[in-house]
Amino acid sequence: MTKTVIWITGASSGIGAATAKKFSKEGYSVILSSRKEDELNQVKEACAHPENCAVLPLDLAQTDTLSDKVKQAISLFGHIDIMFHNGGISQRSLAIETQLEVDRKIMEVNFFGTIALTKALLPHFKSRKSGQFGITSSLVGIIGSPYRSTYAASKHALHGYFDSLRAEHHEDNIHVTMICPGFIKTNVSVNAVTADGKSLNEMDDAQANGMSAEECANQIFKSLKKKKEEIYIGGKEVMAIYLKRFVPGIFSKILVKAKVR
């Protein structure tokens, strides 16, 4: 029996690594991608069934290489069923202080890299009349918050793009699941870029006290399996979505006072 194949970017750590392990445990074939080949191999060996996992290094910033990466990915197991776009970079800097080249870098990786990979894979899904995109957005892909201006913009852009793509390819049986985590205990803030492009190199308190990557992965697994359109993952911070939607003025006052970083 042919196994269901999931391809995960950003699979070398955090949510991506935890999700790879979860899908492997559930019997899926898993393709693991990121820039860090050594770490990808470590994740592969930590999976329940490493014999059904493959490592395919890639850099989302190198968009001209991604068509070839799609061909390589398809050749590994013969097809792809789920593309989990999880690769990306975060930000911790004020908009007024952030250099434009840093803004461009965030958009290049988070948006254009993801879109380039999607465009290259879409014909495969369309020809099979089957496929699913899971996209790691963020709660700030809906609400925005201080110190994350361009990061939030890149995630907002993904929502607009993939909501449109979902409608365009409904008849092709291609599904889209937008995944919006809040505070998850990973190194996302450690690796976040600052105003001059350097890494923050410290973990936010909210991140340190957040949901485990493993629990987040469990919820991602369930949402992808049920082909949900959009899910919110986290603790009480998820309430921000509803405050923004129903009482935006009150939410703005809370956001200013909270000074979340």
Between CA 149 and CA 192 the distance in angstroms is 13
Would residue 147 show up in a list of annotated catalytic residues for this protein? no
Which one is catalytic: 151, 161, 232, 242? 151
Strand order from edge to edge, sheet including 230-233: 53-55, 29-33, 5-9, 82-85, 131-136, 174-181, 230-233
Between CA 114 and CA 200 the distance in angstroms is 23
- Residues 151, 180, 21, 119, Cα dihedral to 10°: -70
**Structure tokens of 162?**
């993939």
**Structure tokens of 58?**
């890639």
Q: What backbone torsions phi and psi does residue 3 show, to the nearest 5 degrees? A: -80, 150
First to last CA, the chain: 48
Between CA 127 and CA 17 the distance in angstroms is 29
- Residues 247, 250, 252, 255, Cα dihedral to 10°: -120
Asked whether the CA dihedral 177, 183, 187, 189 is positive or negative, the reply is positive
Element (H, E) at 6: strand 5-9
Burial class of residue 75, CB neighbours in 10 A (0-12, 13-18, 19+): exposed
Catalytic residues: 151
